[in-house]
Structure 1
Amino acid sequence: MWPEEIVGPTLGNYSILRPIGRGGMATVFLAKDKRLQREVAIKVFQPRPHDNETFLRRFAREARVVARLDHPNILSVYDYGEQDGIAYFVMPHLTHGSLRERLQQQKVMSIPDALNITVQILRALQYAHERNFIHRDIKPGNILFKDELTPVLSDFGLVKFIDEDGTNALDVSIITQTGDVSIMGTPQYMAPEQIRGRPGRASDVYSIGAVLYEMLTGAPPFTAESAIVVLSKHLYEQPHPMNTLNPSIPFELDQVVQRALAKQEVDRYPTPAAFIEALTEEAQKLQTNLNMADPQTVMLPEAETKTPMMTTDPYKDGYRTVYHSDLTEEGTTEQHIIAQPPGTTKSKRSSRLCTITGSHGSLRCFCAGRLQRGVLSVTWRMRSSGKREEASL
């Protein structure tokens, strides 16, 4: 029997209004706090007919543990309780949806939006890990939004509380309703060691890496009709490079995400903070503001050397583009130029002065460019010995 079939008009101090969500182990209701006169969400867990008393004792103990987490990117637990054999959590009622809902509408997110969400969730994980908690079920459906820009990590029902030395002190499996099982989580986002029943802090790093992979490509690293096949792929196969699914993904960003998805824990980022550092460094290379909305148009900044640009490999390097010169007959060289981020006003950076030096003297030129769908278009306006020439590459 499901909770919505047995829950009465009230649970504790909360008036039940209507069900707003249901999963394999619980139902979420919209309710009203009668004391504070505010709407809340109440997660009610499926009763266990065989060992419900044991379950309720563990629930009370473990709910107190979960309620200790207090971070702006972790969904708060207002209250918890038990009534007539039914256990429940009380949480804020958020109305901006989940990451899963956004991906259903948008499928592929922009690089800045994806990094913005990932970094905030990684901050939440760093906070939890420092307090010896691991989540074990990070997925788009468990990332909710307080507002358009602020994600929160929800559903710590599979959280694991670990000792300082990494050994298990408390296994909060209260929400699974499946007894003593070793595999807990969602197959598309589970780390190899979690599949083997040995989750740790690095498992959360893997899972958020899988979520980031999906945000940038439109699909998790591994998919199949069978959950068993998906789990096998996590154990034995390598994810496709992201730029084979989304050519706008820079090679270096793909490498950052691939490290988070390494099969061996020791090969991943040692902490969420280290993952944040790698993503931030890559964002700086891309000159991408984490709150920027349009990553598809870039303006080219002043060249750092006297080598002009002629060709590019956007599939490999994205905004950090490699250019070669054939405007000069001699001395062709290679140069890295950092593309200017979108959103910068034309009056500030749309044209940049650079110098081209070749066998026939020097050229002074202005350049502007546009990157769209992996194709870089550049216009040069050159002035040499009183002559003005214009070329589009």
Structure 2
Amino acid sequence: MSPSQFQELPDKMMVLVNKLCNHFEKSWQANKRPQAEAYLKKVPEEVRPILLQELIPIEVDYRERNGEEINLSELVARFPGSDRASLEELLDTRVVHQTELMPATSSGQVYAEATPPEELGDYRILEKLGRGGMGTVFKAIHKRMDRVVALKILHPQIQADAEFQKRFDREVRTAASLNHPHIVTALDAREDEGLLYFVTEYIKGSDLQSYVANHGPLPLLTAVDCILQTAQGLEYAHGLGIIHRDIKPANLLRDEQGTIKILDMGLARLISAANEEREENSALTSTGLVMGTVTYMSPEQARSTRDAGPASDVYSLGCTLFYLLHGRPPFLGRTAVETILSHANEPIPRLLDAPSLNIEGSLRREFERLFQRMLAKDEAKRIGTMQELIVELDRLQSRVAAIETETEVIAYSSASHNEISKGTKTLLASLVIFVFAASMIGFLYWRSQNGDGESMVDADPPATVRPAVVEASAASARPVATTTTAGYPGLSFNGNSSYVEIDDFPAPAEGPVTVEATVNVRTYQTANVVTLTGDRMTALFLSGDGRWGFARLEGTTSQLIQATEPAELNTTTHLAGIWTGEELRLFINGRQAETTPLEFELPPQTTPALYIGGCRPGALPHERFVNGDISRVRISTAAVHTSDYEIPAHLEPIDETIGLYLNSPVEGTTVTNVVDPDQYRGQIVNATPTVLSSEP
């Protein structure tokens, strides 16, 4: 925010903006993960751009401290009305705290960013590509050779470390000696104008973290192939005595041909060497050059960098495989410390625990055994070498490929049959229409010849014909949910960061409640479709094994049910969860579902709010996001359905309805409550407008 913009605000508004910024930062300090979108709603629309320019750098700062990455595409999706260039500038802004020590994050400290000149040594800077824990990456071109390269300028605080400088020349020579198709090639490393930088080959492609975040989890065969290629590159490096120590999806680049390239191999060795030296000469266990990302870090590496050997890279690779298949890491706490403790103490999750990973029998068991060995907490029980891992992955990859090939053949035959049937139906329909049209033309011609043609134009409608639009009764005079010609308007959720928050929605009251939603999910993952938080938390959810369910916290008792049949993917489904005041019921597409009880402890005393598609990070102990589309969300303080019912084409509020959302096309970043457009408005975070098919 430029000082002039802020100073031009009226005094009262200036005080309010300052107060909101202070509250926003204090909430981040308390790890409450406030959302900038909610704060923007507290000021007039014309002041929001000024407030946003102050809030974004604060959020970026604290998220990076927690080891999270924030990119421009996320900001553009969250703030669609903002100028892209301004958002990029805000992303580069860092809040510097001079009087307090910044805690180490999962990828190191939060470092100030070096500003490069237009030319650096033999290179001309073209554009910024990204920023990581160790440096900022630019696209550049060698002035004499006319070769495009990636140039990473190390953060000044890293360069200032004496142990780092001592090893720079020696270690970069080692990095340059690495020559493998799955390791990004180091081309140059030097110091110019007081800046240390690495130069590597420029790869056209995307890192795996960004790809999964934007497109969803990978198919099993693709994920295994990515891990196998990475293991081959690491086997080569391990043979030279080099341990990466920071394997994660963001450090694996996939080019346009599907080849995996490991990033930061040289820098990983360089920084870990400096860290080991400091550990040996100090009582401290960390220098601030924290090597590794805690989300993917082995238990022994979390204890000490010196304990990280080849098996640590195996562990990180296992965590990466889980992320590629589920869109989330296997262990994730609210803080870096909680995440480290989860790696050490929490049970290893199942790798294929989702019906979308449709592998059964002995092959499924072999995958689970391999994954358990990759993530074994005891290093002695873990797969110890990349060579052993490659053998296992290569064997399993071949078996999965054989299954998928067989499935494709069956699918092709079925599709061919359906196309023939579809063509036949289209031909018959065309013939019927032609015959009908010909008959009508003949009839009209006959009428015109008999003198009755004029009456068809001028005659009044018969008294028995009702108008097309009738006046609603007083009991149903509130707005009605609508469908478009294509289906139900709603929102699309990405499965890892998108949700709608209605932060002033009342907590669930004592007595009956019905939660309804129309949903189309793309993948099976544990997700909360609709959540009412508060002392009586109530949620409509999808379980990890792909079954719809409903939950209610009554007093200190958690009650949950889930359907016995799995949910259908990529299919519009109408859900209704009902708490009668005594028991839970679940209706799927208007029919009461057969259910079984589910053991799970719901969190007590959560802050009252209504969430759709997921929850604000920190609102609940676990993040559960929907990967799919949601429409027609209705909350009513009554048991609306007592028996099977027909799905209405138009959903409207009843007398007991307190909230009805996503019933008309969404515009902007808020959703409106049909019951009362001025009350309980919702904030959209990272979700985009869509239309669900009206055909189940």
TM (normalized to structure 2)?
0.39
Asked whether the 8 Å contact 2:138–2:150 carries over to 1, the reply is: yes
Residues 1:279 and 1:208: Cα distance change in structure 2 (over 3 Å): same
Structure 1 residue 160, shift from structure 2 partner: 3.8
Residues 1:55 and 1:203: Cα distance change in structure 2 (over 3 Å): closer
Q: What is the match of residue 186 of structure 1?
A: 293
TM (normalized to structure 1)?
0.67
Structure 1 residue 139, shift from structure 2 partner: 0.5
Structure 2 residue corresponding to 1:171, chosen from 273, 281, 294: 273
The SS at the match of 1:127 is helix
Q: What is the match of residue 149 of structure 2?
A: 40
Structure 1 residue 344, shift from structure 2 partner: 7.8
Structure 2 residue corresponding to 1:27, chosen from 136, 141, 147: 136
Asked whether the 8 Å contact 2:221–2:400 carries over to 1, the reply is: no
The SS at the match of 1:122 is helix
Deviates more, 1:204-213 or 1:220-229: 220-229
Asked whether 1:342 is paired with 2:444, we answer: no
Q: Distance in 1 between matches of 2:221 and 2:238?
A: 25
Asked whether the 8 Å contact 2:114–2:156 carries over to 1, the reply is: no
Matched residue pairs, number? 293
Kindly provide the CA deviation profile for residues 185-223 of structure 1, in whole angstroms up to 9, marking residues without a partner as x: 001100111111111110000101110111122211101
Q: What is the match of residue 281 of structure 1?
A: 395
Kindly provide the CA deviation profile for residues 292-351 of structure 1, in whole angstroms up to 9, marking residues without a partner as x: xxx4xx7xxxxxxxxxxxxxxxxxxxxxxxxxxxxxxxxxxxxxxxxx45358979xxxx
Q: What is the match of residue 195 of structure 1?
A: 302
Structure 1 residue 52, shift from structure 2 partner: 5.5
Deviates more, 1:248-257 or 1:59-68: 248-257
Larger radius of gyration: 2
Q: What is the match of residue 44 of structure 2?
A: none
Kindly provide the CA deviation profile for residues 248-290 of structure 1, in whole angstroms up to 9, marking residues without a partner as x: 252321221121011111212121121111122223344548x
Residues 1:49 and 1:80: Cα distance change in structure 2 (over 3 Å): closer
The SS at the match of 1:171 is helix
Asked whether the 8 Å contact 2:298–2:312 carries over to 1, the reply is: yes
In the TM superposition, what are the counterparts of 1:120-199 in structure 2 within 5 Å?
120-157=229-266, 159-160=268-269, 171=273, 180=287, 183-197=290-304, 198-199=307-308
Q: Distance in 1 between matches of 2:201 and 2:399?
A: 38
Structure 2 residue corresponding to 1:259, chosen from 340, 350, 373: 373
Q: Which has the higher helix share?
A: 2
The SS at the match of 2:186 is coil
Residues 1:43 and 1:82: Cα distance change in structure 2 (over 3 Å): same
Q: Distance in 1 between matches of 2:379 and 2:322?
A: 18
Q: Give the partner amino acid of 1:342.
A: E
User: Structure 2: which 5+ residue stretches go unaligned?
Assistant: 1-110, 279-284, 414-522, 525-545, 547-565, 567-696
In the TM superposition, what are the counterparts of 1:315-326 in structure 2 within 5 Å?
none
The SS at the match of 1:78 is strand
Q: Distance in 2 between matches of 1:223 and 1:288?
A: 34
Q: RMSD of the TM alignment (CA)?
A: 3.1
The SS at the match of 1:69 is coil
Residues 1:245 and 1:173: Cα distance change in structure 2 (over 3 Å): farther
The SS at the match of 1:281 is helix
Kindly provide the CA deviation profile for residues 64-98 of structure 1, in whole angstroms up to 9, marking residues without a partner as x: 12111110000011111101221000111222111
Residues 1:246 and 1:56: Cα distance change in structure 2 (over 3 Å): farther
Q: Distance in 1 between matches of 2:121 and 2:294?
A: 35
Q: Give the partner amino acid of 1:282.
A: L
Q: Give the partner amino acid of 1:171.
A: A
Structure 1 residue 2, shift from structure 2 partner: 4.2
The SS at the match of 2:196 is strand
Kindly provide the CA deviation profile for residues 36-78 of structure 1, in whole angstroms up to 9, marking residues without a partner as x: 1021110001123994566434222211121111100000111
Asked whether the 8 Å contact 1:182–1:196 carries over to 2, the reply is: no
Q: Give the partner amino acid of 1:36.
A: M
Deviates more, 1:219-228 or 1:120-129: 219-228
Q: Which has the higher strand share?
A: 1
Residues 1:243 and 1:48: Cα distance change in structure 2 (over 3 Å): closer
Kindly provide the CA deviation profile for residues 156-179 of structure 1, in whole angstroms up to 9, marking residues without a partner as x: 255348xxxxxxxx81559x9x97
Residues 1:117 and 1:38: Cα distance change in structure 2 (over 3 Å): same
Asked whether the 8 Å contact 1:194–1:203 carries over to 2, the reply is: yes
User: Structure 1: which 5+ residue stretches go unaligned?
Assistant: 162-169, 290-294, 299-339, 348-371, 376-393
Asked whether 1:220 is paired with 2:220, we answer: no
